[in-house]
Structure 1
Amino acid sequence: MINPFSLQYIKKYIVRIIFFVIFTILLLIIPYPNVYFQKVARTKGVALYSESNLPPPPPYPINKGLSPVPVISAEGVYIKDINSGAVIYSKNGDEKFSPASTTKIITSLVALDKYNIDEVLTVKSIINDGRTMGLVSGEKLTFETLLYGALVHSANDAAYTIAENYPGGIGEFIKKMNEKTTAIHLNNSHYTNPIGFDDNNQYTTPSDLAKQAIVGLSNKTFSKIVGTKSITVSDISYTYFHSLINVNELLGKVPGVSGVKTGFTQNAGEVLVSEVKKNGRNIIVVVLKSRDRFGDTVKLVDWVFNNFEWLPINEITPAPESPVLFK
């Protein structure tokens, strides 16, 4: 009979434990064959997705170099391919600019996080400065109606009513606006009011403006509203009616333009954020501090679709850098 306390038995037992530990570690560090460890297909030196059910990456925009960037008046420009995340063109893309009424994009994002679409809000303060939809004190409207006012008509009174009804009031709403910039990874934006009035501490960048517009467009309600050319809305009692007309002159006139938001103040100049869907592609075009926002945007859109082709990533040599959606 083996003595379990003998030195020889103890040595054998320790050796078995060591082998068991080594075997267990090897099982943990050696990858089991799966789709992420399969042989990766390569074409022209570009690493691709494996032969699995993983979807291929979206086509990537490549400049054919047929013509130079057009001469435009805008001091800030940012053009981005929404599907691939590729930056097509940037001019002062990370410089600070006054956003004017494009502020209402971030205002809408904060409000969409809080309100139900059919939630009823009450007009508490009358705003007469700038463009308004003519709201009346005490008027009750759904959040959706006010969102149409803010985004389609660029109505300052609509944006202010949305913010004023927020729990905690205007101050809390503005706090949430700046928290939202952090949440969606805006690099250099700050807001002091929900309307877009000029303020030295209210600013954004062309790249940040593109980011927030793309976030907004991912929301079906936002996307539907910014694509509306005109609409007549009313309060919940059908006592007051408001005719809303989109300020964006390109909407419905230039093929492919489907939103997003205009802006203008003396300090900001002309501002325009546009979504363009054309030839199966989807881009966002931002112009800031322009003297001709609509003309500038048309030139840029024509340049993009005449000079760029979208290629499968395996046909591109050398491979483009992986796009960084949020810095």
Structure 2
Amino acid sequence: MYKKILSFTLSIILFFSFSIPVYGAKSNEPKVEAQAAILIEADTGRILWEKNAHEPKAMASTTKIMTCILALESGMLDDVVTVSKRAARAPEVKLRLKAGEKQRLEDLLYALMMKSSNDAAVAIAEHISGSVEAFCEKMTQKARELGAKNTVFKTPNGLDANGHQSTAYDLALITRYAMKNPKFVEIINTKQITIPQEGNYRSYYLSNTNRFLNEYPGANGVKTGYTGKAGYCFVGAAKQNGMQLISVVLASGWGARGKEQKWVDTKRLMNYGFKYYKKVCLLEKNKLLKTIPVERAKETSVSLYSGKDIFTTLNEEERSKVQIKIDAPQSVEAPITKGQKLGTVQVSIGNELIGTVPLVADRNIERHDFPTSLKKVLNNWLKLTKYGIIIGEKE
């Protein structure tokens, strides 16, 4: 009887032990149900948390982040876009644009990001590159330039297509880049608008479908997404106390539960980031770090200062692991120019390199030796000769 009870107890313990999820198992980690997710700090790009972040997945309408930023960089906001039959036939969600209808590019970008209009995405792609296919090639190329190596775009609106994929990490990179564009940020944070804002084109009222903007303190983006293949996805952004975070959740689920879970996952990621991480200056610009001897000069030493600031985002545990490594010569020879690089300083957290900055000289130091002194005498003599002012010369 005792053995049966012990065996049953062990079985229960083992069951619950293996049932604990990998992500969220620790008390201070977010429990995220999305199949892939990531949280980064926007200024530095540092990854604060991730789950299957490099696993390629369908990404639904989060695709439109790239569509929007590429259009902002490739076209003029006042461009007049003529809607094609192909654009008008795009499936829901759509603005219900009609073939032959004309709209300003800027207004279509509001529809693209606020209402996730699939027809607007096609119209924009055709206007910028002449065809959807050419625009998607341009999107993929742009992703490569940003370091998003596992991203391939086959549609400008995110509808499922063979080979259309990205990763949580790649989407974070793309979004980080996009949010440096003030117009992009303005569009994604607009709560409601009527387009066109000018002109005599057909009118549409738009309200932003991004609930996150209203439900989370400091929220300032970005884009929802859903397809049958991708499930519910969301790229979020929020800023608190000067720290800008970007989150990505892919495949948070399907059905009514998945639709709600993408918001839950995103808020858990943001709560985790803002609670446990702080933006810290690890090295200040113009900070005196080392003094080294100077040879062949009247002055005996030169001071080396850090050439720029190094900021990063740290949790409490990482603060004790910060290391500063100075690489500078034992001595230098004059002449030295103020601001001249004479070494480097590396800042790391454990084995993670955070940044490298130059060590620069604090002042000019002239060379002082026999050849240099002789050269100065000769130069001065030549200047005197040029102007006819030679010692002992009489008129």
- Structure 1 length normalisation: TM-score? 0.75
Paired residue secondary structure (2:234):
strand
Q: Does 1:107 align with 2:67?
A: yes
> Residues 293, 190 of structure 1: CA spacing in aligned structure 2 closer, same or farther, 3 A cutoff?
same
Are 1:306 and 2:337 an aligned pair?
A: no
Q: Secondary structure at the match of 2:177?
A: helix
Does the 8 Å contact 1:139/1:235 carry over to 2?
A: no
Q: Could you tell me whether the CA contact under 8 Å between 1:251 and 1:258 is conserved in 2?
A: yes
Provide Cα deviations, 1:130-185, integer angstroms capped at 9, x if missing partner.
21112122221111101101111110011110011234322211221111111211
Q: What is the CA-CA distance between 1:85 and the residue it aligns to?
A: 2.2
Distance 1:312 1:67 in 2: 28
Distance in 2 (CA, whole Å) between partners of 1:187 and 1:252 is 33
C-alpha distance in 2 between matches for 1:122 and 1:129: 18
Q: Which residue of 1 aligns with 2:232?
A: 270
1:317 match? 320
Q: CA deviation at 1:236?
A: 5.6
Q: Which runs of 5+ in 2 are unaligned?
A: 1-25, 253-257, 284-317, 323-348, 356-395
Cα distance between partner residues in 2 of 1:95 and 1:76: 7
Tell me if the contact between 2:90 and 2:122 (Cα under 8 Å) persists in the aligned partners.
Answer: no
Q: Counterparts in 2 of 1:69-218, with a 5 A limit?
A: 69-125=29-85, 126-218=88-180
Quote the RMSD (CA, aligned, Å): 2.0
CA distance in 2, matches of 1:212, 1:200: 21
Q: Alpha-carbon deviation of 1:308? A: 2.2
Shift of 1:235: 7.8
In structure 1, distance between residues paired with 2:197 and 2:188: 20
Instruction: Give the secondary-structure state (helix, strand or coil) at the position aligned to 1:313.
Output: strand
Is the 2:59–2:165 contact (alpha carbons within 8 Å) kept by the matching residues of 1? yes
- Contact (CA 8 Å) 2:235, 2:247: kept in 1 or not? yes
2:214 maps to which of 252, 263, 270: 252
Map of 2:193 onto structure 1: 231
* One-letter amino acid of the structure 2 residue matched with residue 226 of structure 1: I
Which structure is higher in strand share? 2
TM-score normalised over the length of structure 2: 0.62
Greater displacement, 253-262 / 127-136: 127-136
Contact 2:102–2:201 at 8 Å: present in 1 too? no
Aligned length: 260
Deviation at 1:244, TM superposition (A): 1.4
Change in 2 beyond 3 A, CA 1:124/1:323: farther
Contact 1:262 1:273 in 2 (8 A): yes
Query: How far off is 1:128 after superposition?
Result: 4.3
Q: Which runs of 5+ in 1 are unaligned?
A: 1-65
Contact 2:104/2:196 (8 A) holds in 1: no
User: 2: CA distance between counterparts of 1:210 and 1:310?
Assistant: 19
Query: Which one-letter code corresponds to 2:157 in the other structure?
Result: I
Sequence identity percentage: 33
Aligned AA for 1:304?
G
TM alignment of 1:40-79, pairs within 5 A: 67-79=27-39
Secondary structure of the residue aligned to 1:322 is strand
Q: Counterpart amino acid of 1:322?
A: L
- The SS at the match of 1:251 is helix
Determine the C-alpha separation between the residues in 1 that align with 2:221 and 2:169.
Answer: 17
Residues in 2 aligned to 1:187 and 1:167: alpha-carbon distance in whole angstroms = 22
* Greater relative CO (CA pairs within 8 A, separation 6+): 1
Counterpart contact for 1:140–1:235, Cα < 8 Å = no
The CA deviation at 1:265 is 0.7
One-letter code of the match for 1:303?
Y
The answer on whether the counterparts of 2:243 and 2:278 sit within 8 Å (CA) in structure 1 is no
Contact (CA 8 Å) 1:79, 1:285: kept in 2 or not?
A: yes
